[in-house]
Copies of this chain bind each other. A is one copy, B any other.
Amino acid sequence: MKLKNKDVWALPGGFVRKDKDVDDEAKAVLQERTGLTDIFLHQFHSFGSVSRQDPKHASDLVEMGVIDPTMEEWFKQRYVSIGYYALVEYSKVKLPIPDATSDYCSWVPINDLPKLVIDHESIIGKAHQTLKKELNYQPIGFNLLPELFTMPELQALYETLLQSKLDRRNFRRKMLAYGILIDTNQKREGVGHKAPILYRFDLEKYFSAIKDGFSSGW
């Protein structure tokens, strides 16, 4: 989200109320910004260095009338942020909703990040790194793809997440070996080339794979 009156961006976030689960508060932030529920949301790390404060930001907020002046000192404290990453199908939320501190909110490509407050860039780095590792243990794609999707679409998703190209044939083999895809015997039509097969996730196997994880290593 681009902060008001500043050429600096920030990750969406919020405070954890005393009587709420932290996980639920994360869900709420996601829901407020995107309107989406029931999506993949994963805690990956907490950030609690003393350098995580930007006193200037607090005074800006007062100036903008976003917070009450009596709260300025409180806002100048160091926060501990518990990082969560969500996987959201971009096209489902073209325009995420900004909060009171920001002008607007939009999707930003990970390899072309704007200037970010405090340590938010390193938070994104950690999230991305964690996600890449998790791909070795868990399937991904449900609610990032339409109900029916093609193998190349799934591959494109992986390539986006991993930021690297994968071999078509090997990707297909590996993915099918996971046993979480169902061939619907349908094809995607209207493309200017051979019609690709439409798959859907075998949700039972998909979620049991998320729960148990793919074997790997020791």
Contacts and interface: CB of A to CB of B under 8 A. Distances in A.
B22 A49 contact: yes
Nearest to A19: B50
Interface string A83-114: 00000000000000000000000000000000
Contact of A48 (B21, B133, B218): B21
B218 A216 contact: no
Interface in A29-81: 43, 45-50, 77-78, 80
Given A132-B218, A217-B216, A218-B132, A16 B77 contact: no
A218 B216 CA distance: 11
B22 A46 contact: yes
A82 B48 contact: yes
A202 B43 CA distance: 34
Interface string A207-218: 000000000111
A16 B49 contact: no
Contacts of A23: 48-49
A173 interface: no
A23 to B, nearest CB: 7
A6 interface: no
A45 B43 contact: yes
Nearest to A164: B218
